[in-house]
Structure 1
């Protein structure tokens, strides 16, 4: 489905943009500084959000359709064609402002993760300038823990963008912009509505982030060795 079709390219685009940007920024700014991590994470997040928003829109529409009708009435291709015929190409980018706002979550996640990784490296008194820890089992579990902590913090801070993004992608919705959506949700449902579904989101995202970051570190280590 669109969820599987979206995750792989989204992660690939993100890490490709993040790694490339960080590598280039390290040559012109203070290497491995917070500024480098923030700019690299922002570049990765914006690139990924822009290129994969149509996939997430189709996924959201299909989920909402299944919730209303009790079953998935159309497949991903049919849903995409319906969006194109009724809303045009612009329809595929409904909710893109929320996705861009969600880049803040990515930035927070990576800044905290890189800071934790730096502290872990320093605690080992490692003289190596390598950005990754040695590839033994205990180190990867530590990296997974750092990723889980950083993802939890970032998600709790920036979660409202997920709620806004879902509302904006609804077909024929009365939500028109990111700020207007947040204001409308708060006015009609209260501030806590901005965190509806947070627990389920954390249960899904924390293991995902932990495994993803440990895998990323392994790939970086193997590529640089």
Structure 2
């Protein structure tokens, strides 16, 4: 039963992660660029000076993206709206640019989610045998184990993905996954593939907060709907509630731990001045203030809600279906 359960969680995690990554890839590209050190700076021409928090005079904003001289990404203000950022990428780099880094993401997200959910479920089972079952401490320990193993194994894939998403070139000269991998190894060696891993370890706290909240809400929902019968039939409403629980818990966790994502992106930039997690946080805080540590948060939240909802609902549905049809 243990091996079967592990296999079910691995398959469900892989399918869920892939589904979420495909749907939200354009938002991930925008988020990564907003987090980068060259994503918001440079002089701002007068015809877009009025942009603020996503509101601007429509005709002026439209000229920003439709004139022959499309502005480079570095000259967009951090207040530029999500829709304007997406439109800018399409006009300046082509529609395919919205899916930069999707290749390594799909290569990495399935094993990453599979490894995470597999380690999480096994750690949870082992901890339940040692301490009081299904307590927050169990969920924290299981989430930490899953996050640490996943970060360590998959970090090289995410370094490649980040570099590709920060590549502003058009399709004709765009880096392929293989070219990007070779370039990192040639310039930085094997260690280059583990840039940002300290920030990823710090980011485990986000996963811990997410799963502690999610498990608490899930337990309440199951108890309210099914009482002591945790293996009973589940309907559409059950999965909708789990989807909302996953989205809510992830939103809270993202707000709490977001600065580590900015630091991780900066550390993974090519030839950057950032060399360590604490140093990066200090530099960003000193040069850009608190707002710099939360650049791209709005886009991240917009992305996380559908991404987490898709992942958690797909995961729960696949686990339920596989358990039902493999007994």
Q: Which whole-Å deviations, capped at 9, do the CAs of 1:94-145 have from their partners, x for residues lacking one?
A: 00001111111100000000011122223336022x3x77421001101111
Contact 1:95 1:165 in 2 (8 A): yes
Give the alignment partner of residue 237 of structure 2, picking from 134, 138, 153. 138
* Displacement over 3 Å in runs of 4+: 69-72, 222-225
- Under a length normalisation based on structure 2, what TM-score does the superposition of the two structures give? 0.64
d(CA) in 1 for partners of 2:106 and 2:218? 29
Distance 2:189 2:114 in 1: 27
| RMSD between aligned residues | 1.6
Bigger relative contact order, structure 1 or 2, given CA contacts below 8 A and separation 6+? 2
Secondary structure of the equivalent of 2:214? helix
Instruction: Please give the per-residue CA displacement for 1:20-76, whole angstroms capped at 9, x wherever unaligned.
Output: 11111111111111111001101111111111111110111112222xx45553211
Equivalent position of 2:119 in the other structure: 17
The 1-side partners of 2:198 and 2:289 are apart by 22
Give 5+ residue unaligned stretches, structure 1. none
Map residues 1-225 of structure 1 onto 2, 5 A cutoff.
1-66=103-168, 69-70=169-170, 73-124=174-225, 126-128=227-229, 130=230, 134-225=233-324
Query: What is the CA distance between 1:158 and its match in structure 2?
Result: 0.6
What is the CA–CA distance in structure 1 between the aligned matches of 2:183 and 2:164, rounded to whole Å? 11
* Structure 1 residues 201 and 133, CA gap change in structure 2 (3 angstroms): farther
Query: Any conservation in 2 of the 1:133–1:139 contact (CA below 8 Å)?
Result: no
User: What are structure 2's unaligned runs of at least 5 residues?
Assistant: 1-102
- Report the 3-state secondary structure (helix = DSSP H, G, I; strand = E; otherwise coil) of the residue aligned with 1:124: helix
